[in-house]
Chain A
Amino acid sequence: MEEARIGIYVCWCGSNIAKMVDVEAVAEEMGKLPNVVVAKNYKYMCSDPGQDLIVSDIKEHKLNRVVVAACSPRMHEMTFRKALENAGINPYLFEMANIREHVSWVHTDRDKATKKSKSLITAAINRVLYHDPLDKRSVDIDPATLVLGGGIAGLAAALEIAGSGKQVYLIERSGALGGYAAEIDLLAPYMNSAAQVLDPLIEQVQNHKNIEIFLESKVTDISGYVGNFDAKIEKKGKEVEKKIGNIVVATGLKNFDPAVIDRYGYGKLPNVVTAMEFEKMLKIGKVETKTGKLPKNVAIIHCVGSRNPDYHEYCSRICCMNALKFANQARSILPEANIFDLYTDMRAFAKGCEELYTQTSRKDVLFLKFEKGDLPTVKKAAAGDDCDMVIDMHEALSGEDIEVPADMVILMTGTEAHDDAKDVAHLVGVSMCGNDFFIEKHPKLDPVATTTDGVYIVGNCVSPKDIPDSVSQAKAAAARILASISQGSVEVEVTTAEVNEDICCGCQTCIKVCPYTAIGYDEEKNVSIVNEALCKGCGTCGSACPTGAIRSKHFTDVQILSQIEGLMSLEV
């Protein structure tokens, strides 16, 4: 092995790291370690000048190893690997020490944080000494795409991809396309007909020669990797297999069941309805109570199941504007009725929404505010009352306890993840957050990609959102996929396992533990063989191998053991 010449770069991250870690002292001390040729600190290593610093040092000082101490490798490992590549050295001869997320942002003692940074960097230096150059593997991209979910997001993604001549397989578990949008009468804030928006979209999808639709179907298995997935689709008991290169997950959300909130009386009081049930009344043009009368008092309650630690802490985003939409529609149908809108905060953030709020407030709708922790209670009215129900509430703006008459109560139910979101997550290999929404690769900079290459998440399965946002995400994912298809191939991780045939004893333990059946057995040589295309680099075979014959590339025993030595070389 040629002599190691390491460059160390300690990032300030503005003041994010420098405030809590003495970056200058760290760089100076690290510079004294064996094999370290240059040790520098710089304001923003990820910036262009920061990366240029690495590139020019590699050339000038003939560096063959680089360590950057900065943020999480999940953030910028790729950035710096690229810089190494630009300088003409193998990108895997690089290691990051996470001194921001794991040090400066979580500790309060500058001395301790500085010491900890030194030990993490020493560990990184020890590790990088044993890094091997790895060749990137390029795989062809199958131009077909699998879209999971036939709601508006799935439809938009499918059309966009199919429109550029690529094959799409669209999977919908129900018997019809359109998702929730198909059950909606008008769309807030412009009150245009949902059917006029949706129907042409469905028609285009149905008639598109590049889109194959699978209704009443589900995907039972997905194997492979970016560019080369195999999907098993079950359609009415029959199984079909399709080869695809990319996957769009647009599985949406379901509505919150308000029966669990006892005080709203849903399921007990006949005229308490959910938003979707009221929508159905609007769609058939018949807004009336269970006894067939026109309601004289209509009350709309916001935040049902949302923004409440007992149910869901998040805001479901779409309900406030739907509530205003209902108030407007109720006003047109029932010109004489009293309309009450019981809200906690009015969230009118999107285009045209604040205007809808202003318009609605001019239509004789009484807005009543309740506090988040002080929910109204719906009860049956007394025998002599001139209404079916009475809502007890503390009106926050007047500070008074009031009774609101109601003949119909509309609960603005929030949205939540499907019960089987976890199954979908496992199927495609994406992570979920605490609310069972799927997690983006980066919430701000890469919001439709996931940590599994080739798998994109769009629409409400990521978080509650309205139609424009869902469609934007769908089209963003489509653009990403089309870009990868037009590239034709993609570089994939090469951190797979490999077998040293000389010391493999043929015990086949690795074959038993591999979750991807990526290891086969060569009967003639009596050794295990790794199929690199199937191996995902989890490394569990490496831990099980009794002879050390299997190596997990980039996570080898010697790399991790020397990293441990480095960590422990300095006192806490």
Chain B
Amino acid sequence: MSFEPTIVSFLCNWCSYTGADLAGTSRIKYASNVRIIRVMCSGRIEPTFVIKAFTEGADGVLICGCHPGDCHYHEGNYKCLRRYHLLQKYIQQLGIEKDRLRLEWISASEGKQFAELIDDMTETVRGLGPSKVKEVMTTYT
């Protein structure tokens, strides 16, 4: 059986979660590998959440927020973007491939784009193979 990655996704309530809901109401099919967690704003997504997902065994983490300029809270997505760049450096130093963490903007009307994103990321992470983070953590701690 081929490797089925698990992708934990953090979505902001106003744009991205609504976009994912729209994919549902429009009955657009996509890979079932994604597990969604709702937060009010992408600015709420702490680096700790991402690291926690990896240490619990996630093979990929996807963060989605409103498009630049569209944040329900004015600028939470910009804060998320800044943290994302720092986090990318951090995870790479830990030996986690950069493609395992992704930040994308999904608006409330982009159900189709959300579905395509999930399929795309699932394939990318499937190509990378299982993440070793959990295994390493349990072996050495």
Residues of A that sit less than 8 Å from B by CB: 72-74, 98, 100-103, 105-109, 112-113, 116, 119-120, 123, 422, 426, 429, 431-434, 439, 451, 495, 513, 515-516, 536-540, 542-544, 552, 555, 557, 560-561, 563-565, 567-568, 571-572
Tell me, in angstroms, the Cα distance from A103 to B40 when the chains sit together.
21
Q: List 22 A-B contacts (CB under 8 A).
A: A72-B24, A102-B24, A119-B35, A123-B37, A422-B70, A426-B69, A431-B14, A431-B72, A451-B14, A515-B75, A538-B76, A540-B41, A540-B43, A540-B76, A543-B46, A560-B49, A563-B37, A564-B49, A568-B35, A572-B5, A572-B6, A572-B32
Tell me, in angstroms, the Cα distance from A80 to B32 when the chains sit together.
27
Complex contact B45–A536 (CB within 8 A): no
Tell me, in angstroms, the Cα distance from A123 to B25 when the chains sit together.
23
Q: Which residues of B contact A74 (CB under 8 A)?
A: 13, 17-18, 21
Q: Which residues of B contact A112 (CB under 8 A)?
A: 32
Complex contact A543–B44 (CB within 8 A): yes
- The verdict on B73 contacting chain A, using a C-beta distance below 8 Å, is yes
Complex contact B79–A537 (CB within 8 A): no
Q: A540-B43, A568-B35 are in contact. List 18 more A-B contacts (CB 8 A).
A: A72-B21, A74-B21, A106-B29, A113-B32, A426-B69, A515-B76, A538-B43, A539-B41, A543-B43, A543-B45, A552-B40, A552-B44, A560-B49, A564-B52, A568-B8, A568-B57, A571-B4, A572-B4
Q: Which residues of B contact A426 (CB under 8 A)?
A: 69, 74
Q: Least Cβ distance of A36 to chain B in Å?
A: 20
Q: Which of A105, A537, A543 contacts B25 (CB 8 A)?
A: A105
Residues of B that sit less than 8 Å from A by CB: 4-6, 8, 13-15, 17-18, 20-21, 23-25, 27-30, 32-33, 35-41, 43-49, 52-53, 56-58, 69-70, 72-76, 79, 83, 107-110, 115
Tell me, in angstroms, the Cα distance from A73 to B72 when the chains sit together.
18
A537 with B40, Cβ < 8 A, contacts A431-B15, A572-B4 known: yes
Q: Which residues of B contact A555 (CB under 8 A)?
A: 39-40, 44
Complex contact A560–B28 (CB within 8 A): no
A513 with B37, Cβ < 8 A, contacts A538-B73, A539-B44, A540-B43 known: no
Q: Which residues of B contact A515 (CB under 8 A)?
A: 73-76
Q: Least Cβ distance of B27 to chain A in Å?
A: 5
Q: Which residues of A contact B70 (CB under 8 A)?
A: 422, 431-432
Q: Which residues of B contact A434 (CB under 8 A)?
A: 107, 109-110
Tell me, in angstroms, the Cα distance from A120 to B32 when the chains sit together.
12
Q: Which residues of B contact A568 (CB under 8 A)?
A: 6, 8, 35, 53, 56-58
Tell me, in angstroms, the Cα distance from A73 to B57 when the chains sit together.
26
Complex contact A539–B40 (CB within 8 A): yes
Chain A residue nearest in CB terms to B58: A568
Chain B residue nearest in CB terms to A563: B37
Tell me, in angstroms, the Cα distance from A313 to B119 when the chains sit together.
26
Q: Which residues of B contact A572 (CB under 8 A)?
A: 4-6, 32-33
Tell me, in angstroms, the Cα distance from A120 to B46 when the chains sit together.
20
Complex contact B17–A429 (CB within 8 A): no
Tell me, in angstroms, the Cα distance from A112 to B109 when the chains sit together.
26
Tell me, in angstroms, the Cα distance from A84 to B49 when the chains sit together.
29
Tell me, in angstroms, the Cα distance from A495 to B74 when the chains sit together.
18
Tell me, in angstroms, the Cα distance from A557 to B32 when the chains sit together.
26
10 cross-chain pairs, A with B, having the tightest CB-CB distances, nearest first: A101-B24, A539-B44, A540-B43, A538-B73, A568-B56, A538-B41, A105-B24, A434-B109, A112-B32, A107-B32
Q: Least Cβ distance of B43 to chain A in Å?
A: 3
Tell me, in angstroms, the Cα distance from A330 to B81 when the chains sit together.
58
Complex contact B52–A567 (CB within 8 A): no
Q: Which residues of B contact A537 (CB under 8 A)?
A: 40
Tell me, in angstroms, the Cα distance from A72 to B13 when the chains sit together.
11
Q: Which residues of A contact B18 (CB under 8 A)?
A: 74, 431
Tell me, in angstroms, the Cα distance from A537 to B48 when the chains sit together.
19
Chain B residue nearest in CB terms to A515: B74
Tell me, in angstroms, the Cα distance from A98 to B75 when the chains sit together.
27
Tell me, in angstroms, the Cα distance from A106 to B70 when the chains sit together.
26
Q: Least Cβ distance of A105 to chain B in Å?
A: 4
Complex contact B40–A538 (CB within 8 A): yes
Tell me, in angstroms, the Cα distance from A168 to B44 when the chains sit together.
37
